[in-house]
Structure formats: C-alpha cells, structure tokens
Amino acid sequence: MFLDGLRRRNAALIRQAIALHQAARLPANCYVIDLDAVAANARAIMAAAAPHALKVFAMTKQMGRNAEFCAAVQRGGIASAVAVDMECARACVLEAGMRLGHLGHLVQVPRAESEAAAKLAPDYWTVFNHEKAAAAAAANAALGREQAILLRIRTEGDTFYSGHEGGFDAVTELEGAADVIDGLAGARFAGITTFPALLYDAAARRVVPTHNLRTLERAAAALARHGRTDIEINAPGTTSAVMLDALAAAGATQVEPGHGLTGTTPLHATRDDLPELPAVVYLTEVSHLHGGRGYCFGGGLYIDPVFPPYTPHAMVGADPDAATALPVEIPPPAAIDYYGMIDGPARVGDSVVFGFRPQAFFTRAFTVGISGIASGAPVVHAIRDSWGHAVGWPG
C-alpha cells in the first residue's frame, strides 16, 4: 500500500537502496531509513505542535530504536522518546541518547525493574493499578525523586487492541486514585492517558477519534470540577502533523508520533498532500528460483495490519532505474517468514524493495540509516540489529 507513495514522493530512497545493495554496502533483510526525511518529518510535526504547546514524545520501536534514526528525530526538534517497555527504554536512553519522556503505558514496568526504571528518570510514568503506582513511588522515593504519574483510564465503550486492556475506571475510580497517588512518597498525580485516541477508518479512508478520546475529555472535566485543572492528557494513536489540531481541541497536552516520523501512518498510504515524506523501505534480495517464482529472503516481513488483506508489491531488479513492481506472496502471520514468493521475472541476487508499515522491533531484520539520499551522495551509517545494537556487517 505504501510503495506507490514512495515511488511518487521519495523514489530516490528506492533507487539508492537498490544501488547500495548491489554494491554490497547494504545487507538483505534490512529496513533502510532516509534520515534527512525523518528529520524533516519531525520538524513538520513540531511545527504543528507548537501553536498548541503540545509535548511531543517519539515512538521509536517501529525503527528498532536505531540510534541514527533517533538522532534524526532529535535534529527535527523532538528530544524525548516514549518507551513501549523497559527494553525500549534502555535502548532509547542508553543506546540512542534520547531523554525518556514517557514509560509504562503500552507495557507496565515489571516489579523487579522498578528501580532500573526510576534510574532512567522518565518525565511521566503510566500505571494501570495501585500496585504499580506503589512500586513506582517506592523506587523513586529511594532515589530522592518525585515521579509524575499518569493513570491509564477506561470506561464502557472504549476500544482496546486485544491484550492491551486495563486501567482505572474513569467514572468510579479515577478521582480516588488521583488522591491516593498524591499521598504516596515519591509520586504525584500528573494526568491521564489512553490508547488509541485516534484510529484509521478504512471504509471512510480517514482518521477518526475513538470513544477513548471522549473518555479522556469527560475524565478531565470531572477532575476539573474537583479542582484538578492543571493536568496532562496523553493521547497517542495514529499521530501525524495533520491530526494535532483535533487532538489539541479535545484537550490533549501530549502526543506520541511513531509512524508519522517515517510517513507510514494509514493516511500516508492514501494521500500525497501530507507534510511527512515516506522515509523507510524494506530491502531484501532474491535467494533462489522455484516453480517459476523468485524466493526472497525474509526476516522483516511483518506488515503492521492496518488495512484489509491485500497483495503487497515490491520493486525487483538489479538496476536502480529499471526495477519492476511485482506482486509478492508473504507468509501468513502464523508462519515464520523465511522467504517471500515473487510472482514475475526475477533473478538470483536481484534487489527487492518493499514499502509497507513496519514494526522493526518485532522482527529479526537489520536497520540502517542513510543520509544524503536526495543529494545523490548517500552516507551509510551503522547497520544495527532490531535491538538497536551495531553489528559487524559484513564479516
């Protein structure tokens, strides 16, 4: 779905990925990131956030917390990251050098890691229950810190992905929980959060607010009636520059772009008028031929399923200026993606370049940042694994 947009808006990334692969400067099974486009995308998001004084935290898991990607995000003006879990927090802070803006939302901090989390000094720490709040408070009190705590809230009618459920009841528990947090040494109640606040409507081909966003609005109003008017409202989900006005109008104070940084939100697959450029491709190569099909190496063929099932295409060839778009069969999620199967003419060693919505941290693929793509003099930076560690490739 994203390949067409890449060909229209950042064809140089496709061409350079093929050229550098054919020159043995890039490995197969690799997410190739246009660092200059990422920095420009971050600047566009910050420009849209500035009139509303929105705090912006970058979600970096989609790019495997690649350090050069994180540096490009920082050049674009976004200094802090949101961590999906403790592994992500360590990678962002210790490997990539970002400030930790938000921790604990998608994945709660395990009990034994509370001290390690506190030492990373997150600006905000989300909890789903009183037990996690007490653990966070105790860990920070031991370090002489007072941690700003966000409460994940929920109510009837809210939408959660399977396995993401949990939080304080927005109607019956929130006010009491806020008081309890303020009574803990090492913690203070700072605000509320949910996920997702926005979702893509495939039928309407637009991003729409979820019931969760309305829950945030109602909860903030209830807290204000009880004197809590200066609170943070964290509203992540399908975030890009064009959605920030709507989030701010709903009361959001914090936003967390992820795919917006690489131009791979669902809107970017259907519109060319968005400020963010497509900034990532998945690169691999043809391993062998069988039954009239080319088999390309997998490892990073997890396609984030935001659209109904479709047949992905890839640019296939050894000549950057003569590669052909061909349909590719991807193994189903229940199978290991050892190979993808290309329908059409392919030769062993051909480059294969996909455009899709990636989640690099979920794969065994490499990531690599490239600068200077538009200039025609690309600079290849460190090749990293999906944990963000530099690897000795080749050899």
Q: State the pLDDT at residue 305.
A: 78
Summarised one tens digit per residue, pLDDT across range 294-347 is 999 999 998 887 777 778 999 999 999 999 999 999 998 889 999 999 999 999
Q: Check if the beta carbon of residue 166 is closer than 8 Å to that of residue 155.
A: no
Tell me the backbone φ, ψ of residue 315, rounded to 5 degrees: -85, 125
Which residue did the predictor score with more confidence, 305 or 96? 96
Q: Check if the beta carbon of residue 241 is closer than 8 Å to that of residue 275.
A: yes
Task: For residue 238, give both structure tokens.
Answer: 């399908």
Pairing of strands 280-290, 351-354: antiparallel
Average pLDDT, stretch 223-237?
96
Whether residue 379 is predicted with pLDDT greater than 80 in this model: the reply is yes
Q: State the pLDDT at residue 370.
A: 98
Percentage of the residues of the chain whose pLDDT score is greater than 90:
92
What distance in Å separates the CA atoms of residue 254 and residue 261, rounded to the nearest whole number? 16
- For 36-262, the fitting CATH number among 3.60.15.10, 3.20.20.10, 3.40.50.1220, 3.30.200.20 is 3.20.20.10
Summarised one tens digit per residue, pLDDT across range 164-188 is 999 999 999 999 999 999 999 999 9
Whether residue 394 is predicted with pLDDT greater than 70 in this model: the reply is yes
Whether residue 395 is predicted with pLDDT greater than 70 in this model: the reply is no
Summarised one tens digit per residue, pLDDT across range 135-166 is 999 999 999 999 999 999 999 999 999 999 99
Q: Check if the beta carbon of residue 320 is closer than 8 Å to that of residue 11.
A: no
Q: State the pLDDT at residue 309.
A: 75
The full set of domain ranges for the chain reads 3-33+274-384, 36-262
What are the residues whose beta carbons fall under 8 Å from the beta carbon of 372, sequence distance 6 or more? 36, 378, 379
- For 3-33+274-384, the fitting CATH number among 3.40.50.11390, 3.40.30.10, 2.40.37.30, 3.20.10.10 is 2.40.37.30
| Opening angle at CA 104, ends 169 and 39, nearest 5 | 120
The count of C-alpha atoms lying within 13 angstroms of the C-alpha of 247, restricted to the half-sphere facing its C-beta, is 37
Summarised one tens digit per residue, pLDDT across range 246-281 is 999 999 999 999 999 999 999 999 899 999 999 999
What residue has token string 């088999």? Answer: 295
Average pLDDT, stretch 7-15?
97
Percentage of the residues of the chain whose pLDDT score is greater than 70:
100
The reply to whether omega before 378 is within 30° of 0 (cis) is no
Mean pLDDT of the chain: 96
Is the Cα torsion angle 352, 353, 355, 356 positive or negative in sign? positive
Q: State the pLDDT at residue 333.
A: 82
